[in-house]
Each structure stands twice: as structure tokens, then as C-alpha cells.
Structure 1
Amino acid sequence: MSGLFLSKGLFPQEFFRPTVEFLLKSQLPDGSIPWFEGSYADPWDHVEAAMGLTIGGEYDAAERAYFWLRDMQLDDGSWWAAYKDGEIDNKERRETNFIAYIATGVWHHYLISENYEFIEAMWPCVEKAISFVLSLQTEHGEIHWAVDTHGKPKEDALVTGCSSVFKSLECAYNLSVVLGTERKDWLDARERLGKAIRFREKERFDRTWESKARYSMDWFYPVLTGALPAHEGKKRLEARWDEFVEDNMGCRCVSDEPWVTIAESCELTMALLAAGDHARAVTLYSWLHQWRVEDGSYWTGYQFVEDLLWPDEKPTWTAGAILLAADALTDHTAAAYLFKEVRLLDTAQNTQRINHF
């Protein structure tokens, strides 16, 4: 199916119910959500799928997903790169943006469910995760992308990864305010990180490997996560639009490969909303449902030169991204704003304020 045009207040629950059911069926008894049947789960994509469950009203399943992460957390607050069947599947590294993303998921779930007991139960997990991540922030503001098997920092930074951490710090701070344990030091760290992304992108990122600028996520993630204000974000998206976007298909994963990917297209949809480009967001999202399967899942992507759905996978995190973008377009839940605006809780007034740093 294609041509699904969404607008505020018109979330097609019947249409997306199979996608939610797909996520429910993919979740294992221990609460983990692998990429697909027989595959592994990683902390970032597991959370993306869990957010889809929350949007679908499956609060218990989503909370089991977060409690699985809590129970698998290492003593220092981190997680390994991947887990499979209750065991570590990748012990080569622990990635900071993966680790920080728990805060985004927990805050997202609280905004929708309003379950205070849930965030109380998850707070020690979130606090340890953020502390681990910030222990890897440099004096210049950026955050090392990972540590190796032995805990040694991999001393370089990723624009996409640090942008994701930037959003997670917003969510972590808001959790601290709601729980009455405000972490202003996290705001300070977030401000330093934001400045590194905005002003030191060429200086502090991709220092030890080839630039990742060919990846679309490096292009739009600073906009998606609020590291750039809307007016700067709109200019950034406009500057490389023709490099990454294929009409009537979606967003390329990398600029030099004829391959559009559905999850990146969903995230770009939300980045467009953050930049105030609602018309393009609606249009881009309308193209994506031609890649939908009858069970509500979505293919990873489409190689349009070879006319090939590739790889032969329908990931749970793609389904999660589909639901997040639909929510953002329709304002269906109380968390619909999360990737469209920066909202930091104001402790003095007990209200939310919009603040890019």
C-alpha cells in the first residue's frame, strides 16, 4: 500500500494494529525484542521497538522490554552491543548512544502511560546508564562512541551517535525533575555536547576514520534530536535533499548507493517536522507503505537499480520507527512531540519550556 497521508488527530489505529501485533509476536518471553526471528537484540533498536509498543497501547509488553534491559545492565551502567537468547552475542564493544537511549524510551513511555511507579523502578538503571555515557565525554564536548572489550574508550565520536545522546540527555534530565532529583550536571553536559555538534562537527567527529557524511543519518540526526534549532535544521535538510531523497520511494541510507531504507525515511519524516517542513514530512511518509507486508511489518529497504527488496529482513525497529513517525504526524499520543521539539522541564514553574540548549 502507498499514499497514506496522515494529519493531526487522524491516527489510523486499525491500519497500524497489525504492526503493533507484529511487535508483540516478535517479543520473546524474557521481554527482549530481537531484530527479527532468530536474530539478536541490541539496546538501541530494542528500545525503538518498545516505543512502538507503547504507542500501540501495549504498556505491559513495553514495560517488560524495559525491565529486560534493566536486568541485563552491567554493574557500570552499560550494555554490550548485542544479546541473543539471553546471552551476550557481541562482546567487542559497548556503544554510548545505545546505552543512553534507555532514557529516551523510559521518558517516552512515561509521557504516554503516566505510570510513575514505572519510572521509579527504572530510575536507577537510567541514572547508571547516563553516568557511564558521560564518563566518556571529552573536554571538547563530544562523547566517545564506544568502549572496547576491556573498557578502553574508542577515542572518536559520531555525529549520529552524539546527536542521539543529546536527545537522551533531555529525556534523562526530565525524568530527574519528575522524580525530584534534578540533575543539572546533565544539562551542563548536554549543553557542551550540543555546542560540539553545532560548531565542531568537522573538528571533533570522524577524526580517525573516513567521514560518515555520506550517511543520511549524519545529515538529519542533528535536526531530529534538537541539536540544531528549527531554522538551522531546515537549511541543513534543504542543502542535501537531492542527494538523499528519491521521489516516491524514500530516503537513501547512504548518498552513493541506490538503496532507500524505511526506518531512515521515518526518522527523516520526524526531522522535517522538527524543522517546520510539514508538507514534505507528510509526503515522504506517504511513500513508505508500499514496503509494508500483510502482517504489518515493513521491509528494511529497497534497492531501486536492481529492483530488489534488500536485505530479506523485516526488522522490529523499522516497525517501531513507522509508529513513531505516524504518532509525530498525527499527535496521537502525549509523546508525539518528542522528536519534533525540545522540551525541558522547568522545576521552578513545574512546566515545560522549549530550549535548544
Structure 2
Amino acid sequence: MRSETAPPSVPGVLTPDDVVATARSIAAQQEASGAIPWFSPTHGVPGHVDAWNHIEAAMALSVAGLGDEARRAYEWLRDVQRPDGSWPAKWVLGEVTEPGGESNHAAYVAVGVWHELLATGDEDFARRMWPAVRQAIDFTLGLQTRRGEIIWIRHEDGEPSDHALLTGCSSIYQSLRCAVALAEHLGEHQPGWELAADQLGHVVAAHPEAFADKSRWSMDWYYPVLGGPVRGAAAARRFDEQWDAFVVPGLGCRCVSDQPWVTAAESCELVLALDAAGDRDRALELFTTIQHLRHEDGSYWTGWQFENERHFPGDRSTYTAAAVILAADALADATQGSRLFKEIAGRPLGPAEASDPLACGCALVAATR
């Protein structure tokens, strides 16, 4: 079952036909298996597939009405899930090239399935995907520390890495909230997942020392807002503190603060974060700005190197097109899934208190004041 909803549009920026063209540029790269690589072969080098960006692309296909292609993507994902609930970090042309299982890749299936349920109302689909979601979340939480952060990868030999990533954990927070909502919807309540989400959200919002330093990357700047742990006045402060470091007027958001290129995907994720935090004016302005990376066929160049004045790295990527579509949907509030970055099952995303203040150390700090 698929509900009939027109593709989103952003007046003066993108029409519904524009959005469909962008979705078709994603579908054109979909492999026969259903997998969606980052890009088509460029200079003889094939694009790779990872579960997170694959899911984001499937969500975008669904928003634009390409339901058959979206379902093929989810069916492939379910079929290649490993017994431990994870997916390999990377495939190329169907062959696993990086076997380690990343926690945020695994968890994101919950966002995709919840989004598809919202978009289509298809209960049978949600029930078919539920075992995959349950296994993926169990894998992810197997990497959670007592303090609350989640280690970013379990290596091929079964050993976890020694650090957590702020961007990844911010994404996992949203994933856990979606997983909890899906479990409740299907009558498979998972209270432990909700406690884990609260602890993780608190650590993201209040304990920067828990994460490896990736502060050069814009994702570590805006993802705590995008994923939901940081909202309100804290989100506004976070945006203002580093706006000039990452946003280039008239061009978009940098990928890395000290490099002269802007990227459409990071720009559109920042649009989603701004919109979710209530800063619609800057969100719309940035979304309009980044259209300079639109190709005539509806796809999007990944980035622009503004010192050399050339597209960088020289490809048009599916994950970039997907981010554009999801940002357009959020700005238009067009589909049932358009509020996914604002609320889950009617509950606003936002900061959480630590479920175990002793685990993160907050209780000990408070006791010394």
C-alpha cells in the first residue's frame, strides 16, 4: 500500500518535477540487486555502497514517489544483513571491500523503515523489516559504553574500535528514537532501547570529551542538532559559534573548515538541522544558495572548490541528490515523513537527561558543587 502524496516543491527554488528528476538521477544509479552506490563509475573507478547512504537514497526515492525503486533498496538491505545484525562498511560492485560493521550504518535502518511506514502506511512492509531493525539495533547497542556513547565500528575480527564519533552517535540517537517508535507501533515494546537513547542523547549534548576530535568537519558541528540531542537555545548557540567557520556566503557549507570547498550534501543536512531547530529563514536561504550545484539532468555535483573554481571531487553523487530531496520535503512539509527531523511519533526530538547520571559522571560533578 502506498499513500498518494505529490512530490515536494519549494516555491521559487524547486518544482515537483525538479524533485522527481533528482530522484530519477538516483534511480539511474541503482544496481540490479537494488543497491544504490555513491556514484556511477568515474574515470574507470566504480562507486561504492554503504548502508547509511543507501538508506538515505531509498528515503529520497520514496519521497519523490519512486516506490518500487525504494522497496527494491530495502529488500536488498534486508537480504544482505549479516547474522550479527550489521552490514559491511563498504561494497563495490557487490563485493565486500571493507567488512567492519559501523554502528551508525546498522542503526539507520530504523530511520528508513519508520520513514517508509510514515510515507506509505504499509504495515506489512514494517513487519517484514522488523527483524532486520531489531537485529541492527541489538548490534548497535552492543557497542554502547557504560557512559552512553556508542563505539563507531566493530572490526572484522570482532573487536570494537577504541573511540566514538560525535556525528555517528548523533545519527544513532535519531535512529534509536525511530526504533522505539517502530517497536511501540508493532507492539514489540523495547524499554531498554529508550533508556539507551536517553543516555546517548545526554552524552552527545553534554560530554564532548566522549568523542574523537573531528571538529574540522562540519558534520560534527551541525549533527548534534540534526540528530536531535541539541535543540532550543543550545542549538542556536551552536550554530552561531561556528557559522563563519563553515558557511561561505553565496556558496554553501564547507565539508571541512580549513579547506576551500563547499558540498551540497552537508549544506542540505545543515538546512535540515536549521529547519528542525526553527531557523527556517537561514534554512531556506542556504537551500536556495546550494542550487548552483544542480546539473541540468536533476542530479547534483558533490561539491565546488571555490579557489580553483571547479567541481570537486568531480562526480554527481546519489547521497547528495538524496539530501536535497529530504531537505526540500522538510521545507515544504509535504509528505508524512517530512517532520522526521523534528519529531518521532508525535514526540519532539530534543535534549535528554542521563538515564544513569553516575555513568556519565554528572551526578559526581553535581555532588561537588
Q: TM-score, normalised by structure 1?
A: 0.92
Q: Match of 1:6?
A: 10
- Between the aligned partners of 1:95 and 1:192, the Cα distance in structure 2 is 20
Q: Match of 1:253?
A: 255
In structure 2, which of residues 129, 153, 161 is the aligned counterpart of residue 122 of structure 1? 129
1:85-116 deviations in Å (ceiling 9; x for gaps): 2221222x211111111111111111111111
Matched residue of 2:28: which SS? helix
In structure 1, which of residues 171, 174, 181 is the aligned counterpart of residue 188 of structure 2? 181
Contact kept? 1:11, 1:330, Cα under 8 Å: no
Q: Match of 1:204?
A: 210
- Between the aligned partners of 2:50 and 2:234, the Cα distance in structure 1 is 32
Amino acid aligned to 1:319: A
Contact kept? 1:11, 1:327, Cα under 8 Å: no
Between 173-182 and 225-234, report the one with greater CA deviation.
225-234
Q: Match of 2:201?
A: 194
- Between the aligned partners of 1:111 and 1:276, the Cα distance in structure 2 is 22
Q: Match of 2:278?
A: 276
Deviation at 1:355, TM superposition (A): 5.2
In structure 2, which of residues 40, 44, 48 is the aligned counterpart of residue 40 of structure 1? 48
Deviation at 1:153, TM superposition (A): 0.4
Identity of aligned residues (%): 44
Aligned residues between the structures: 338
> What is the correspondence of 1:126-205 to structure 2 with a 5 Å cutoff?
126-201=133-208, 203-205=209-211
Matched residue of 1:88: which SS? strand
Matched residue of 1:89: which SS? strand
Where in structure 1 do 4 or more consecutive aligned residues deviate above 4 Å? none
Cα distance, 1:115–1:250 mapped onto 2, change above 3 Å? same
- Between the aligned partners of 1:280 and 1:252, the Cα distance in structure 2 is 16
Deviation at 1:147, TM superposition (A): 1.1
- Between the aligned partners of 2:340 and 2:307, the Cα distance in structure 1 is 35
In structure 2, which of residues 63, 77, 80 is the aligned counterpart of residue 69 of structure 1? 77
Amino acid aligned to 1:286: T
Contact kept? 1:7, 1:329, Cα under 8 Å: no
- Between the aligned partners of 1:44 and 1:145, the Cα distance in structure 2 is 13
- Between the aligned partners of 1:306 and 1:140, the Cα distance in structure 2 is 45
> What is the correspondence of 1:271-310 to structure 2 with a 5 Å cutoff?
271-310=273-312
Between 17-26 and 186-195, report the one with greater CA deviation.
17-26
Q: Match of 2:27?
A: 24
Contact kept? 2:229, 2:349, Cα under 8 Å: no
Cα distance, 1:7–1:182 mapped onto 2, change above 3 Å? farther
Contact kept? 2:263, 2:302, Cα under 8 Å: yes
Amino acid aligned to 2:122: N
- Between the aligned partners of 2:334 and 2:324, the Cα distance in structure 1 is 13
1:289-316 deviations in Å (ceiling 9; x for gaps): 1111111110110010111111111110
Taking only aligned residues, the RMSD between alpha carbons, in angstroms, comes to: 1.5
1:178-225 deviations in Å (ceiling 9; x for gaps): 111111110000001011111111x2111xxxx211110000000011
Q: TM-score, normalised by structure 2?
A: 0.89
Amino acid aligned to 2:31: L
Q: Match of 1:353?
A: 347
Question: Is residue 225 of structure 1 aligned with residue 227 of structure 2?
Answer: yes
Matched residue of 1:73: which SS? coil
Deviation at 1:230, TM superposition (A): 2.4
Amino acid aligned to 1:275: A
Q: Match of 1:98?
A: 105
